[in-house]
Structure 1
Amino acid sequence: GYRRLWAELCKLDYVISENKTQKLCQKLGIQVTCFGHRNRTYKSYKGEIGKIASNLIRRRFKTSIPHQKITTDTTEFKYYEYDSAGIPRIKKLYLNPFLDRYNSEIISYSISKQPTFRPIMEALAQAIEQTKDCPFRRTFHSDQGWAYQMKPYVNTLKDQKIFQSMSRKGNCLDNAIMENFFGILKQEIYYGHTFNSYDELKQTIEDYIEYY
C-alpha cells in the first residue's frame, strides 16, 4: 500500500507527503485493490452463559518457550453457492485456529459451515496434543465467546492442568495476536476475491495456513 511506499521513499531521503504518495499510486494505477474493510464481524459473545476466566495474559503476548502460551478465536468468511436456478446464495464458513505465541505458528485448526461447538473442541484436542511437550504449565487464551465458557471446554483445560485466560469484555486488543493473524490472512487471500464453493474457500485457507 501507499503507506509502506511512503515509508520507503522517506528512507531514501525523498521529501514527499503521504497524500502525495497516495495520489501518485492512484495516477500510476498501482493502488491496492485486494483489500477491503469488513462490513460486519462475527461476534461469538452471547453474554455470560458459563464461567468467565481472568485475563492472565494481560497483553504479555510474547514468550521464549514454545507451546506455553496459546491463543484462539473464531472468524467468519463468506462464499457463494448457486442453486438449481443458477442464483448465487451467500453461505458462511468458520475458522477456529489455535496459535502459538512463541512463533505465531498455527498449531491446530478446524473449519466448518456452522459456528458450532464440536469443531472448536476438535481443534482444542489437537492443540492440547501438540503442546503436551511444554515443560511448564500452559495457558490457553481466548475472548469471552460462548464456546470458551462451556463446561466441556473449561473442564478439558482443567483436566489437562492448563490455565484458562480470557480477554476483557469488548477489548479485542487483549487478543491482538490472533486478530492480527485474521487481518493478514483475509488481506492476502480473501478481500477482493470471490469464492464459489465451500471446498474452494476451505482449500485456499488450508494452503495459506500451511504457507503461513
Structure 2
Amino acid sequence: MSSSSYFDARKRNYGAHYNEDESIIKDIEDIRNDPKMIDALSLGYRPLTQYINQKRVNRNESVINHKRVLRVMKQNGLLSSAYSRKTNKYNSFAGEGHKRHKNHIRQRFITDRPYQKLGTDVTEVRWGKQTTDERLFISLFCDFYSGEIVSYSISLHPTTKFVLESLYPVMELAKGVPYLTTIHSDQGIQYQSNKYQMILCRSNIRQSMSRKGTPYDNSPTESLIHKMKIGTVLNHNYATQAELVVAIKEWIYYYNHERIRQSNNWETPIGFRESYTSKNA
C-alpha cells in the first residue's frame, strides 16, 4: 500500500460509515412497518431514498444518494421481491370480426398535459377461497400525464354497463380541456361494443386500441394494475367481498394522494396535476 493511501485511510472514519448503514436499515424497516404505507413492500430503492432523506432532514442529518441505499439493501437482503409475483390476468378479448380501432398511442405514453392521453383496462381480484365465484372486476382509467387514477368502478360482472360507469366521469373531465383526449385500451369486448364506441364518438374522444396480444401497447395501465394488486390481493387475504372492496378503495386513495413517483418529480399523482393547473391558471 502506498503511503498516500495509508494516511488517507487513517483520516477516514469508516466506523461512522457503518453506523450510518445501520441507521439506513432502521429507516427502511420503519418505513415498511408504517401502517400508512399501504404498499411499502413494493417500494424500490429510489422512492425509499426520498422517504429516508425526509427522515434524515428532520433529524438534521445530511441526505444520502440512492446508490448507497441500493448497496445497503443488496447487502442486507432488503430488495423488494413484490414485482416477481404473478397473478392471473382477466382476458376479455372478443375474437376476430369485431370493430377495432387504430393504435393512435403507438407506445408514445409521454404527454405534457393532463387528460390528453388516458389508458383503461379491466382486471379481476379475488377474495375468500379464490374461486371464480369469489371475484370482483375493476375498471379503471388512468392519466398518462401523472399516473393518476381518474375514475374506477367495481362490479361482480364485467359488463359494458360496468365499464361505462367508470367512463362517464372521464367524459366530464375531457369536456374541460381545449385539446383532443385519447383513451387507449386493449381489444376487450367492452371496448368494442357499439354503445361504448358511440359514447366516445359523441364526446369527441378519440379511441385507440392495442394490437392483439401486445400488452406493451398499454404498459402504463398494466403496470398500475399490477401495483394495485401488489398493494392488495398479492400480499393480503380478504375473507369477504366487503373487505376486498374497502381495501381496493383505500389503495386507490393512497396511490393518488400519498404515493410519490419519480416521473412526477417525486410528487403524488394528484399533486403533480395540481402543480400543472396552478402554473397554467
Deviations 1:108-129 (A, max 9, x none): 1100011111110111111111
TM-score with structure 1 length normalisation? 0.81
Tell me the equivalent position of 1:208.
251
8 Å CA contact retained: 2:117, 2:181: yes
2: CA distance, partners of 1:148 / 1:32: 35
Q: Which has the higher helix share?
A: 2
Deviation at 1:209, TM superposition (A): 0.8
Residue 188 (structure 1) aligned to one of 208, 216, 231? 231
Describe the shift of the 1:46–1:211 C-alpha distance in structure 2 as closer, same or farther (beyond 3 A): same
> Secondary structure of 1:144's match?
coil
Based on CA coordinates, which of the two structures has the bigger radius of gyration? 2
Tell me the equivalent position of 2:136.
93
Tell me the equivalent position of 1:117.
160
> Secondary structure of 1:74's match?
strand
TM-score with structure 2 length normalisation? 0.62
Show the 5 A alignment for 1:68-147: 68-80=116-128, 91-147=134-190
Describe the shift of the 1:14–1:93 C-alpha distance in structure 2 as closer, same or farther (beyond 3 A): closer
Identity %: 34
List gaps (5 residues or longer) in structure 1: 82-87
Tell me the equivalent position of 2:53.
none
2: CA distance, partners of 1:48 / 1:141: 19
8 Å CA contact retained: 1:92, 1:113: yes
- Of 64-73 and 32-41, more deviation after overlay is shown by 32-41
Residue 210 of structure 1 aligns with an amino acid whose one-letter code is Y
2: CA distance, partners of 1:61 / 1:101: 6
Q: Which has the higher strand share?
A: 1
> Secondary structure of 1:62's match?
coil
Tell me the equivalent position of 2:68.
12
2: CA distance, partners of 1:103 / 1:13: 26
Residue 57 of structure 1 aligns with an amino acid whose one-letter code is I
Which structure has more relative contact order (CA 8 Å, sep 6+)? It is: 1
Describe the shift of the 1:95–1:4 C-alpha distance in structure 2 as closer, same or farther (beyond 3 A): closer
> Secondary structure of 1:58's match?
coil
List gaps (5 residues or longer) in structure 2: 1-40, 50-64, 256-281
> Secondary structure of 2:175's match?
coil
Q: Establish whether residue 47 from structure 1 lines up as the match of residue 95 from structure 2.
A: yes
Tell me the equivalent position of 1:59.
107
Q: Report the number of matched residues.
A: 198
Residue 65 of structure 1 aligns with an amino acid whose one-letter code is R
Describe the shift of the 1:194–1:132 C-alpha distance in structure 2 as closer, same or farther (beyond 3 A): same
Deviation at 1:137, TM superposition (A): 1.4
Deviation at 1:4, TM superposition (A): 5.1
CA RMSD in angstroms comes to: 3.1
